[in-house]
Chains A and B, each alone.
Chain A
Amino acid sequence: MDKDNWDKDNMDKDNRDKDNMDKDNMDKDNRDKGNMDKDRKDHLGNNTFRSGLITYGLVVGLYVVMQVLMRLGAVPSLIQGMLVPLCMYVVLAVSLNLTVGILGELSLGHAGFMCVGAFASAVFSLTLVDSPMPAPVRFALAILVGALAAALFGMVVGIPVLRLRGDYLAIVTLAFGEIVKNVINVVYLGFDSGGFHISLKNSASLHLAEGGRVFINGAQGLKGTPQDSGFTAGFILVMLTLAIVLNLVHSRSGRAIMAIRDNRIAAESIGINVTKYKLMAFTISAALAGTAGALYSHNFNPLAATPKNFGYNQSIMILVFVVLGGIGNIRGSVIAALVLTLLPELLRGLSDYRMLIYAIILIVMMIFNWSPSLVAWRERYLPRNLFGGGAHDGKGA
């Protein structure tokens, strides 16, 4: 709404500019620029502040409501069991939106980064499980370890891969995710007084000393991770993720990243270091996926890398949240992740038909949201505010 006005203002101004072209050109240009800057600051400044507040408020509100309902005992155990996964999916969707919406690159390997974070943080916690460290501190450190490990992988993958474009980048990230899942399934990792032992054959070939423990047991995965995560931890992580992503988007770096998305060559020509900013967005996105992995690995026991939790299907599921929520729209990702994670559970009464209905809803929503003819129809016949808020103008927050 605001945006439209602002576009119109701009256009008027452009026309006026053309009319007055020959009359004291320089002077007027400067004045206009000054006005424009002021306008933009007013519009964007208020907008971003308000829409950021709405997003945080939404999450805090939901958290408080859930806590109250849980105290009252009004929450069925099925939903209680889903609280941590819900937080996890929100973090994953918001972080993937950073890559897909803000950076504008399609990634199909987000679950791979999550897998790296999950296993790294679980191994860290297992190493320290007997130490006197209090559980919350250990868990916070584990999340940090997961984030760092995923960031490292993000950087290693990103440096060569971000040279590729579009669908090629998508397929390479997909390949990366599958490789991670596959390799984790053949790794045996043990720990004893002499440090870590690693093998690709079996647990016997680890040659652990007396009292050594096997951490990752090939395809059976990892057992006995302390169950440190919970709804509050998940909530804090969601808030942190939102803070990181929203602040990045509205910072100088964020504007550089979006400039690259909108026109790489133009961005490069005005001196933006494309590789640096692309890598920055990709790495932060990977690190946040790693924290979601840590949330996951400290919630489910035993932890094994299966196609269901870390396969390409999971990556695609997260991408569905991002696209349905609105590409580049952070609040949309939060809402879509919540609704689409709960939807199959709410449809559980329909038992066998629930995934079928989910698929149909997905297709219909996509056509309704994106079909050029339907978009035109909607703009003509429906009040703008109903579908306004710029679900897919790529500029909302």
Chain B
Amino acid sequence: MSFISYFINGLSLGSVYALIALGYTMVYGIAKMLNFAHGDVIMVGCYVVFVTVINLHLPVPVGILLSILICTALGVTVERVAYKPLRGASSLAVLITAIGVSYLLQNIALLIFGANMKTFTSVVSIPPLKLAGGRLNITGEALVTVASCVVIMVGLTAFIKKSKAGQAMLAVSEDKGAAQLMGINVNGTIALTFAIGSALAAVAGILLCSTYPSLTPYTGAMPGIKAFVAAVFGGIGSIPGAFVGGLLLGVIENLSKAYISSQMADAIVFAVLIIVLLVKPTGILGRQIHEKV
């Protein structure tokens, strides 16, 4: 029974990773850049909810909505100011700029809120689900996290498959130049991708902080890196890949914490990643890229 509860907690953590990984993977697919500042958008989202709901006592839905809006605006602004001028430059240059943005966000948060840990209160008010005569206890947070991840996943897939904007995203990720020739607004599409990714990061951050209620300016860094690993795990650029990768990563991390060693959990996660990449060099669901000579 304890195995099942570890597994479910793993799924819940994995759902958070999957949501963050979606942002990584979409941005990578479309702009071919590793957005290292993505993890820090999570942190910003958490602080917004912290201020609005806990300090200002606004209702929870308002706080969540504000958080999503602010993160979306932040994502689009960062793209416009820092990444857009570098379009066409070496990918390393963009990577370092993203790292600069990450430092910037962390230090702004540090200036405003200080380095002290803030205690976050859960935004979920659903009572825990008791199964098997009370032996299996599933928290409300876990339920909400997994459910919202599945809903977002389905919604996002439908958006990309059915809507015009979604098709434009696919086209831009396939071939930027050709997409432009077909009349697609490439810059607008890239901005939209950043907006969606950042909104998902806000949701992921709120869910993460509801489950693990501590908030510092560096809260987003490690989940960000793990989600990046999850995106690579599933095959970077692939949306179902991010989902599968995130869930697998969360489950592996939680099970190794429970059964092997809590200190070694991160090392085990990274070791599994290395093994997966050695067997399938483009991730679980990644496309094989054939090189043209």
Which residues of A are interface residues toward B (Cβ below 8 A)? 100, 106, 160-161, 163-165, 167-168, 170-172, 174-176, 178-179, 182-183, 185-186, 200, 219, 265, 312, 316, 319-320, 323-324, 327, 352-353, 355-356, 358-360, 362-363, 366-367, 369-374
Give the residues in chain A near B274, CB-CB below 8 Å. 161, 172, 175-176
Q: B264 contacts A182, CB within 8 Å?
A: yes
Is residue B293 within 8 Å, beta carbon to beta carbon, of the partner chain? yes
In the complex, the chain B residue whose C-beta lies closest to that of A263 is: B293
Give the residues in chain B near A175, CB-CB below 8 Å. 229, 270-271, 273-274
In the complex, the chain A residue whose C-beta lies closest to that of B266 is: A182
Q: A371 contacts B89, CB within 8 Å?
A: yes
Q: What is the number of contacts between chain A and chain B, taking CB atoms within 8 Å?
A: 120
Give the residues in chain A near B64, CB-CB below 8 Å. none
Give the residues in chain B near A183, CB-CB below 8 Å. 264, 267
In the complex, the chain A residue whose C-beta lies closest to that of B102 is: A359
Give the residues in chain B near A170, CB-CB below 8 Å. 34
Which residues of B are interface residues toward A (Cβ below 8 A)? 28, 34, 36, 82, 85-90, 92-93, 95-97, 99-101, 103-104, 107-108, 110-111, 225, 228-229, 232, 236, 261, 263-264, 266-267, 270-271, 273-274, 277-278, 281-282, 291, 293
In the complex, the chain B residue whose C-beta lies closest to that of A177 is: B270
In the complex, the chain B residue whose C-beta lies closest to that of A166 is: B91
Q: How far is the CB of A54 from chain B (nearest CB, A)?
A: 25
Q: A366 contacts B100, CB within 8 Å?
A: yes
Q: A359 contacts B277, CB within 8 Å?
A: no
Give the residues in chain B near A160, CB-CB below 8 Å. 278
Give the residues in chain A near B103, CB-CB below 8 Å. 355, 358-359, 362
Q: A363 contacts B225, CB within 8 Å?
A: no
Q: How far is the CB of A343 from chain B (nearest CB, A)?
A: 13
Give the residues in chain B near A355, CB-CB below 8 Å. 103, 107, 110
Q: CA separation between A360 and B291, bound complex, in Å?
A: 38
In the complex, the chain A residue whose C-beta lies closest to that of B83 is: A367
A-B contact pairs, 12 of them (CB 8 A): A175-B229, A179-B267, A179-B271, A182-B263, A183-B267, A186-B263, A265-B293, A320-B99, A356-B107, A362-B99, A366-B96, A367-B82
Q: A359 contacts B100, CB within 8 Å?
A: yes
Q: B263 contacts A371, CB within 8 Å?
A: no
Q: Mostly helix, strand, loop or mixed at chain B's interface?
A: helix
Q: How far is the CB of A93 from chain B (nearest CB, A)?
A: 13
Give the residues in chain A near B28, CB-CB below 8 Å. 167
Q: Which of B100, B111, B278, B291 has the most CB of A within 10 A?
A: B100
Q: Mostly helix, strand, loop or mixed at chain A's interface?
A: helix
Q: CA separation between A267 and B264, bound complex, in Å?
A: 41
Q: How far is the CB of B33 from chain A (nearest CB, A)?
A: 10
Q: A164 contacts B281, CB within 8 Å?
A: yes
In the complex, the chain A residue whose C-beta lies closest to that of B265 is: A182
Q: Which of A106, A175, A178 has the most CB of B within 10 A?
A: A175
Question: B93's contact among A352, A356, A369, by CB below 8 Å, is which?
Answer: A369
Give the residues in chain A near B104, CB-CB below 8 Å. 356, 359-360, 363
Q: B92 contacts A327, CB within 8 Å?
A: yes
Q: How far is the CB of A162 from chain B (nearest CB, A)?
A: 11
Give the residues in chain A near B90, CB-CB below 8 Å. 327, 370
Q: B86 contacts A171, CB within 8 Å?
A: no
Q: A323 contacts B236, CB within 8 Å?
A: no
Give the residues in chain B near A323, CB-CB below 8 Å. 92-93, 96
Known A186-B264, A265-B291; contact A163-B96, beta-carbon cutoff 8 A: no
Give the residues in chain B near A327, CB-CB below 8 Å. 90, 92
Q: A179 contacts B100, CB within 8 Å?
A: no
Q: How far is the CB of A131 from chain B (nearest CB, A)?
A: 34
Q: B96 contacts A319, CB within 8 Å?
A: yes
Q: A171 contacts B88, CB within 8 Å?
A: no
| Further pairs besides A168-B277, A182-B270, A366-B96: 17, Cβ < 8 Å | A106-B95, A161-B274, A170-B34, A171-B228, A176-B270, A176-B274, A182-B264, A186-B261, A319-B96, A323-B93, A359-B100, A363-B82, A367-B82, A370-B89, A371-B86, A371-B89, A372-B88
Give the residues in chain B near A356, CB-CB below 8 Å. 104, 107-108, 111
Give the residues in chain B near A363, CB-CB below 8 Å. 82, 97, 100-101, 104
Q: How far is the CB of A237 from chain B (nearest CB, A)?
A: 26
Q: B267 contacts A178, CB within 8 Å?
A: yes
Q: A185 contacts B277, CB within 8 Å?
A: no
Q: CA separation between A265 and B292, bound complex, in Å?
A: 10
Q: How far is the CB of A48 from chain B (nearest CB, A)?
A: 24
In the complex, the chain A residue whose C-beta lies closest to that of B101 is: A363
Question: A172's contact among B88, B93, B277, B282, by CB below 8 Å, is which?
Answer: B277
Q: CA separation between A316 and B37, bound complex, in Å?
A: 13
Q: A185 contacts B229, CB within 8 Å?
A: no
Q: B92 contacts A178, CB within 8 Å?
A: no
Q: CA separation between A164 and B280, bound complex, in Å?
A: 10
Known A186-B263, A355-B107; contact A171-B99, beta-carbon cutoff 8 A: no
